[in-house]
Chain A
Amino acid sequence: MVSRRVIQNLTSEFRDSFLAKLGVALVVVVVLVAIFAPFVAPHNPTQQNLDASQLPPLGFTQVEQKTTSEMVDGELQTVTVNETVEAKLEHPLGTDGLGRDMLSRVIYGARTSLIVGVLGTLFAAFVGVPVGLIAGYYRGRVDDALMRFADVSLAFPSLVLAIALIGLWGRASVPVPDPFVALGLVSGMPETFVLPGTVVVVVGIVNWVWFARIARGEALSLRDQEYVKAAKALGANDSRVVLRHVFPNAITPIIVLATVQVAAIILLESSLSFLGFSGTTLSWGFDISQGRDYISSGQWWIAGMPGLAIMISVIGINLIGDWLRDALDPGIEGEGGGA
Chain B
Amino acid sequence: MTDPDLDDDVLVAVRDLSTRFFTEEGQVNAVESVSFEIRDNEVLGIVGESGSGKSVTALSIIDLVESPGRITQGEVWYRDAELAEEFRDTNASVVGDHLDLRTVPERVRGSLRGSSFSTIFQDPMSSLNPSVTVGEQIAEAVEVQRRASANPRRTRSRTAGYGLGQMIVDAVVPSRSYTSEESHARAVELLEQVGIPDPADRAEEYPHQFSGGMLQRAMIAQALAGEPDVLIADEPTTALDVTIQAQILDLLRDLQTEEGTSVVMITHDLGVIARMCDRVGVMYAGEIVERGRLEDVFDAPVHPYTQGLLGSIPDLEDPAPRLQPIEGNVPSLLDSEMPEGCYFADRCPKAMQDCLEPIAEYDAQSGSPEHAVQCVLARQEFDPALALHEDGDAEVVADE
Binding site for B on A (CB under 8 A): 1-3, 5, 139-140, 225-227, 229-237, 239-240, 243-245, 247-249
Contacts and interface: CB of A to CB of B under 8 A. Distances in A.
B113 A233 contact: yes
Given A244-B170, A248-B171, A232 B64 contact: yes
Given A230-B219, A249-B130, A235 B167 contact: no
A139 B226 contact: no
Contacts of B159: 237
Contacts, number: 92
B67 A233 contact: no
11 contacts: A139-B67, A140-B67, A225-B126, A227-B128, A229-B121, A233-B62, A235-B141, A239-B164, A240-B167, A243-B170, A248-B132
B242 interface: no
Contacts of A234: 113-114, 118-119, 141, 144, 222-223, 225-226
Contacts of A225: 126
Contacts of B121: 226, 229-230, 233
Interface in B131-166: 131-132, 140-141, 144-145, 148, 159, 162, 164
B113 A240 contact: no
Given A229-B64, A234-B141, A243 B113 contact: no
A239 B167 CA distance: 8
Contacts of A247: 171
B208 interface: yes
Contacts of B148: 235
A108 B119 CA distance: 59
A239 B121 CA distance: 22
Listed residue (A1, A226, A233, A249) with the most chain B CB atoms within 10 angstroms of its CB = A233
B171 A230 contact: no
A240 B162 contact: yes
B129 A2 contact: no
Contacts of A139: 67
Nearest to B178: A244
Interface residues of B, number: 43
A130 to B, nearest CB: 9
A10 to B, nearest CB: 15
B320 interface: no
A147 to B, nearest CB: 17
Given A226-B123, A243-B171, 11 more contacts: A229-B127, A233-B62, A233-B113, A233-B232, A234-B222, A235-B111, A235-B145, A236-B114, A240-B167, A244-B140, A248-B132
B262 interface: no
B115 interface: yes
B206 interface: yes
A333 B370 CA distance: 61
A233 B111 CA distance: 10
Nearest to A2: B174
A2 B172 CA distance: 11
A139 B67 CA distance: 9
Interface in B85-135: 110-115, 117-119, 121-123, 126-132
Listed residue (B129, B141, B170) with the most chain A CB atoms within 10 angstroms of its CB = B129
A230 B127 contact: yes
A226 B113 contact: no
Contacts of A232: 64, 113
Given A225-B126, A235-B145, A248 B67 contact: no
A5 B164 CA distance: 29
Contacts of A243: 164, 167-168, 170-171
B118 A231 contact: no
B111 A231 contact: no
Nearest to A4: B206
A146 to B, nearest CB: 16
B113 A244 contact: no
Given A1-B174, A5-B208, A243-B168, A235 B114 contact: yes
A313 B316 CA distance: 73
Contact of B226 (A227, A231, A235, A244): A235
B129 A244 contact: yes
A235 B144 contact: yes
Closest 7 CB pairs of A and B: A235-B114, A233-B119, A1-B174, A235-B113, A226-B126, A234-B114, A243-B167
Contacts of B123: 226
